[in-house]
Amino acid sequence: MTARQVVVIGGGLAGVTAAIGLREAGFDVTLLEARPRLGGAASSFARGDLTIDNGQHVFLRCCTSYQELLARLGVSDLVTMQERFDVTVLSPHGRARLRRTALPGPLHMGRALTGYRLLPLAERLKVARAALALRSLDPADPAIDGVPLGAWLASKGQSERARRVLWDLFIVSALNIRGDEASLALSATVIQMALLGKKDAADIGVAAAPLGDLHGRAAADLLGTLGAQIRLATKAAAVERLPGGGFRIGLTGSGTGQQDADGAWPAADGPALLADGVVLAVPPGQAARLAGAAGLEGAGRWADLGASPIVNVHVVYDRQVTSLPFAAAVDSPVQWVFDKTRPAGLAAGQYLAVSLSAADTYVDIPAASLRQQFLPALERIFPAAAGARVTDFFVTRERRATFRQAPGIGALRPGTATAVPGFVLAGAWTDTGWPDTMEGAVRSGQRAAEELTRWLASQPAPSGAGRPEAATARTGAPS
Ligand SMILES: Cc1cc2nc3c(=O)[nH]c(=O)nc-3n(C[C@H](O)[C@H](O)[C@H](O)COP(=O)(O)OP(=O)(O)OC[C@H]3O[C@@H](n4cnc5c(N)ncnc54)[C@H](O)[C@@H]3O)c2cc1C
């Protein structure tokens, strides 16, 4: 029997997950990726002898689907997970340690909060009361979707200081938006799931290898082994519904995988692909265009999800300046800082990456100015840095790192299935119930594979006549 043809557009974590699921369900899968590598927003590049991540990524123990993907890719040993949630918070005025106990959630965070000396004691108790109030919210309630976190916290007695030195620590990095401007619904999701959920839910995991190895290379290996077609540096330019059923996907792509001087992927018309089903796993702006052209009404609204930047400031020292694997900072422009020495492959000295979320005010600042600001800031939290020589300094900027996780955003996130049969959506921006994260991306890919599998199974078996030709046959790619 001829297997059904499925095209997955977009090779980020969502598309990769969908492609694996669909191939395992027995479909002929072609995965299209505009860039010359898989992995999407979580990737790496070479800088001299080092391998640099485009931006620091962390995950929590409650990110179960992401960890399932890592296991399926055979790379679970390339991440490290702390045994117990433990965050050192640095400030020019001292430091605090937020460490969970072995008590069941939410009691496991009690001691960390009451001992958080960067906030006056009376304020810590108020934080506990607000956290319990947040715990009782229903994130799916449309009434809270439109409420900004800052206003809600203020109404619960949370001072400016409490919002900046405690709530922002987790919300700004989790939602990539200024804490006061964050969606209350998504904030409640994060706090309930991670900090007030099961006791081990917030234990932090980081990659011990470059993200490119963890996601891109491992995904290409597995999909190749499973027999999926991967077409890199190939962009879907249009998706068209065919009158007799199925889809025609128009392609552009040079096949060289080289960006032009403006950072765009060069286009050259290529042969079209035909498919019985399509997973659209690209960011919301591109998805709106492709789905709109495929006749999906209302897709234009997805562009309203907007974008929020993340900037990483990378500093290589000639010696070790901290023994912490990572730390958060308050009363400092540094938000979170990570020791990247080992994952990047640095043989001597120490490589720190400062991760700046909600980086609207940094994204257009020249590297020289950021250097002037961040080297002294790092010296204030790591005094040993004052005696160290900086051997390299550079900045990575992801202007559209996530969608803007602001009030009202829940109503804009579409589900997996669409009004077009056989045409499903995936991506961390779709309605996963999660913020724009690797976990959300993987969950969306799993759902997309399930939805398309279910729909294709409900269709009459292909007769061979009048159905779309094999995608591979039209392109001449090996099967
Ligand atoms: C700097 C940074 C830091 C982050 N930190 C964290 C973190 O700490 N923890 C966390 O969980 N998440 C983090 N995220 C978010 C996380 O990376 C994303 O949520 C996730 O990777 C999104 O995956 P995706 O598959 O939905 O989308 P993407 O990764 O955006 O994948 C979409 C893919 O589609 C491709 N594409 C676009 N148009 C076309 C087309 N027409 N044809 C073919 N291909 C196309 C793109 O090239 C891209 O590869 C961070 C993101 C960034 C940028």
* 34 close to ligand 1 (CB < 6 Angstrom): yes
Q: Are the beta carbons of 281 and 448 closer than 8 angstroms? A: yes
The CA distance from 87 to 336, in Å, is 10
Tell which one of 64, 282, 356, 397 to mutate to probe ligand 1, the residue whose CB is within 8 A of the most ligand atoms: 282
Sequence-distant (≥ 6) Cβ neighbours of residue 191 within 8 angstroms: 131, 134, 135, 170
45-80+205-210+307-402 is classed in which CATH architecture? Alpha-Beta Complex (3.90)
pLDDT at 105: 87
CATH 3.50.50.60 domain locations along the chain: 5-42+213-306+407-475
Q: Whose Cα sits closest to atom 48 in ligand 1? A: 40
Q: For residues 313 and 362, what is the distance between their CA atoms, to the nearest angstrom?
A: 10
286 lines ligand 1 (CB under 6 A): yes
Kindly report the average pLDDT of the chain as a whole number.
92
CB proximity list for 403: less than 8 A, separation 6 or greater: 284, 305, 306, 307, 308, 409, 429, 436
Residue 169 CB–ligand 1 contact under 6 Å: no
Q: How much is the pLDDT for 256? A: 46
Is 7:471 a contact under the CB 8 Å cutoff? yes
Cα–Cα distance, 69 to 245 (Å, whole number): 32
Distance 209 CA to ligand 1 centre (A): 18
Mutate-to-test residue for ligand 1 from 7, 8, 13, highest number of ligand atoms within 8 A of CB? 13
For the chain, residues classed under CATH 3.90.660.10 are: 45-80+205-210+307-402
Determine the atom of ligand 1 nearest the C-alpha atom of 440: 19
Which range is least confidently modeled, 19-33, 50-64, 267-281, 292-306? 267-281
CA nearest ligand 1 atom 31, residue: 12
Residue 478 banded pLDDT, cuts 50, 70, 90: very low
Alpha-helical (H) ranges within 54-158 are 64-73, 110-114, 121-135, 142-145, 149-155
- Which pLDDT belongs to residue 223? 98
Q: How far is the CA of 15 from the centre of ligand 1 (A)?
A: 10
Gap between the Cα atoms of 28 and 1, Å rounded: 12
Q: Is the CB of 435 under 6 A from ligand 1?
A: no
Which pLDDT does position 461 carry in this prediction? 75
pLDDT of residue 294: 87
Per-residue pLDDT reduced to its tens digit, 174-201: 999 999 999 999 999 999 999 888 999 9
Pocket flag, ligand 1, residue 402 (CB < 6 Å): yes
In the chain, the N- to C-terminal Cα span, in Å, equals: 15
Average pLDDT, stretch 140-158?
95
Edge-to-edge strand order for the sheet containing 269-275?
235-241, 247-252, 269-275
* Average pLDDT of span 109-138: 93
Nearest alpha-carbon partner for 371 in 355, 344, 390, 387? 390
Per-residue tokens: 333: 């422009």
Q: Which two tokens stand for residue 183?
A: 């969606």
Judge if the beta carbon of residue 231 lies within 6 A of ligand 1: no
66 touches ligand 1 (CB under 6 Å)? no
Distance (angstroms) between ligand 1 centre and the Cα of 215 equals 11
The fourth-level CATH superfamily of domain 5-42+213-306+407-475 is FAD/NAD(P)-binding domain (3.50.50.60)
- Atom 51 of ligand 1, nearest CA residue: 401
The confidence score (pLDDT) of residue 463 equals 53
- Mutation test residue for ligand 1: of 60, 79, 232, 402, the one with most atoms within 8 Å of CB: 402
CA of 442 from ligand 1 middle (Å) equals: 11
Give the chain's radius of gyration (CA, Å).
Answer: 23
Q: What stretches of 263-389 adopt beta strand conformation (E)?
A: 269-275, 277-280, 308-317, 326-329, 336-339, 350-356
Residue position matching structure tokens 């991670």: 194
Residue 293 is predicted with a pLDDT of 86
Q: Check residue 476 and give its pLDDT.
A: 30
Cα of 49 to ligand 1 centre, how many Å? 25
- How confident is the model over 296-329, as pLDDT tens digits? 999 999 999 999 999 999 999 999 999 999 999 9
Is the pLDDT at 262 greater than 90? The verdict is: no
Q: Whose CA is nearest to atom 52 of ligand 1?
A: 401
pLDDT, tens only, 209-242: 999 999 999 999 999 999 999 999 999 999 999 9
Q: What is the mean pLDDT of residues 340-365?
A: 98
pLDDT confidence bin for 464, thresholds 50/70/90: very low
Q: For residue 175, report the distance from its CA to the centre of ligand 1, in Å.
A: 14
Could you tell me if the CB of 181 is within 6 A of ligand 1? Answer: no
Residue nearest to atom 36 of ligand 1 (CA): 10
CATH topology of domain 99-201: Guanine Nucleotide Dissociation Inhibitor; domain 1 (1.10.405)
- CB of 32 closer than 6 angstroms to any ligand 1 atom: yes
pLDDT of residue 474: 37
Alpha-helical regions (H) of 140-261:
142-145, 149-155, 160-162, 168-175, 184-190, 211, 218-226
What are the start and end residues of each CATH 1.10.405 domain in the chain? Answer: 99-201
Residue 93 has what pLDDT? 87
